[in-house]
Amino acid sequence: MSFVSPESRLWSEIKEVSLDEGLLLYDLEKLGNKALRITVESDGADKNGVSIKDCTKLCRRLQVLFAASGSSFGLIEEPEIDVSSPGVNRGLRLAKHFSDSVSDRVKVTFESVLEGKRTVTGILEKFDGNLLSLVDEGTSDLVEVEFSSISKANIDFAF
């Protein structure tokens, strides 16, 4: 499994088809040459979010695309395609994900121990593209960490 860069041709192609379906490409994983895991969100026009029907329509469009040109993306002719929404506790991987999540409750795991902790849950106060600032909900301390030192992060919605 490997995440696909937003600068890649594969990302661009899937983004274009997604936009045509009224969806925004949120993230993309390539699972070898046999499968894709595509995460999309609503473009905002539909207040109900992403439906199963939306995912099915996008999946069918992409099946046609990859049947014709999958090999040019390093995929088999009929790759398995999984399309879904990112969900409430969506993963945060790209800088845009963090920028869009300022003022949300997040859970961040660092590559190594930082200030005695490896994981912090709290409100994301600021993200400038390189430095992430969040208020640790356990201590109320402001924690600042470089984007590059994050190993995993996600929204941590409190139900």
Radius of gyration of the chain measured on its C-alpha atoms: 17
- What averages of pLDDT result for each successive group of 10 residues across the chain (159 residues)? 92 97 97 96 79 96 93 92 95 96 96 82 96 95 94 93
Q: What is the pLDDT of residues 108-133, one digit of tens each?
A: 999 887 777 899 999 999 999 999 99
Domains of the chain in sequence order: 2-84 (3.30.300), 95-155 (2.30.30.100)
Residue 56's φ and ψ, nearest 5 degrees, are -65, -45
Rounded to whole angstroms, the Cα distance separating 28 from 32 reads 13
